[in-house]
Amino acid sequence: MRTLSRILFALVTALALTAPAAACPLCKDSIPEATDGSQGEHDPERLAKAYNYSIFAFLGMPILLGGAVGLLIWRANRAAPQPAA
């Protein structure tokens, strides 16, 4: 019980002392703030959504390729004749 309370205390302390992260440096620097209130051609929300979609695509592609390779291996092993034991 004593070890659990120490771990819990350390976890709560670590979470309480961390600073919130606004964005990654690339995203934060690429989205300028509208100073006069008019957004004109620049729409920060649209640009942020575009960054999100690109991140999802970059994360999804390796998973999709790995799943496709796994499916091919599974199909090849399933269709292979079993040796008589």
Distance of alpha carbon 30 from alpha carbon 48, whole angstroms: 10
Is 64 inside any structural domain? yes
Q: Mean pLDDT over all residues of the chain? A: 78
80 pLDDT band (50/70/90 cuts)? Answer: low
Instruction: Report whether 33 contacts 44 (CB < 8 A).
Output: yes
Distance of alpha carbon 31 from alpha carbon 23, whole angstroms: 10
Residue 3 is assigned to a structural domain of this protein: no
pLDDT band at 68 (very low <50, low <70, confident <90, very high): very high
Q: What is the pTM of this model?
A: 0.44
Quick one: pLDDT at residue 14? 82
Domain for residue 65, yes or no? yes
Please state, in angstroms and rounded to a whole number, the distance separating the CA atoms of residues 48 and 55.
11
The predicted model gives 29-44 an average pLDDT of 60
- Residue 69 resides in a domain: yes
Domain that holds residue 49: 44-80
Number of domains in the chain: 1
Q: What's the DSSP call for residue 35? A: S
